[in-house]
Structures are given as structure tokens and as C-alpha cells.
Amino acid sequence: MLKASCLCGGVRYEIRGALRGALNCHCSTCRKAQGAAFRSRAAARSAELVWICGEQLVSFYQSSPGNHRGFCRICGSPILSRFDADPSIFGIPLGILDDDPQIRPKRHIHVASKAPWFTIADDLPQHPEGPS
Ligand SMILES: [Zn+2]
Ligand SMILES: [Zn+2]
């Protein structure tokens, strides 16, 4: 089980299963949403996510059609993403986790949109565009 919480602690949930598909996304939307060079994320089965508190504090912003990014409206932390195309999956920002998910990002995507001030210094595969 993995615990997750936002910066203010108002939102907490548990993932009672394994994450998969961890990667680093360098697209401009992720960079702005995270306020960082990239977003590290993985997928969780929505049926395995259990809210502990604060679900009512989560607001969703539709950053592209069908992609809803949830954030804590008190502290602004990214909480999870949900997708109209596949409600069985949530996108989990790894930065919200309080526990080690055991998996590690395996690739960089949207590297063509990478921040000019950031240099990728690992040997993971780099994809110019999105998931494939
Ligand atoms: Zn919060
Ligand atoms: Zn992205």
C-alpha cells in the first residue's frame, strides 16, 4: 500500500495496489502544472485508490480534452488526473507519495518540449513526443 498526501495535509489517499508505467513528462502543460522541469507520474487502477480525507477539496482542471488534472484547492498540490477515455485509471504524480513506490521512471516523453534550462542527465530513453 502507498500513502499519498498534499502539501497542506488536507487531502490524503491510499493506493492499495501497484503503480505502473512510471515516466517523466516534459510537456509544457505538465511543466506548468507542476511548476517544475517535468512531471513524474505513473498509473494506478482507480478501483485501488481509497480516499482517506479531503476528496471534497480536490478541484479539477481540464488541461486538454478529456484530461482532468485534480489539485488541492487549499495548497495547490497536484493530486491525481482522471481521463474520460479510461476511467479505470488515474494518473498519479509521484511527488505526492509519502512512500517509495518501488518503481522508477523508465523514460522521458515530450522531450521536444523540454525546458531549455534543464538538462536530462540520465540514460533513460527519450521520446520527442507523447506516450506511444
Ligand atoms: Zn492541500
Ligand atoms: Zn505532460
Structure confidence by residue, pLDDT tens digits, 63-83: 999 999 999 999 999 999 999
Full-model pTM = 0.94
Give distance in angstroms: CA of 56 to centre of ligand 2.
25
Distance from the alpha carbon of residue 58 to the mean position of ligand 1, in angstroms: 8
Kindly state the average pLDDT of the residues 41-57.
98
CA of 28 from ligand 2 middle (Å) equals 7
Q: What is the pLDDT of residues 79-112, one digit of tens each?
A: 999 999 999 999 999 999 999 999 999 999 999 9
Kindly identify the ligand whose nearest atom is closest to the C-alpha of 6.
1
Find all residues with CB under 8 Å of 46, minimum gap 6, and list them.
Answer: 82, 87, 88, 89, 90
User: Rounded to an integer, what distance in angstroms lies between the CA atom of residue 29 and that of residue 49?
Assistant: 25
At 17, the pLDDT band (50, 70, 90 cuts) reads very high
- Of the bound ligands, which one is closest to the alpha carbon of residue 11? 1
Q: How would you classify residue 116: left for phi > 0, otherwise alpha for psi between -120 and 50, otherwise beta?
A: alpha
Ligand index nearest the alpha carbon of residue 13? 1
pLDDT(132) > 60? no
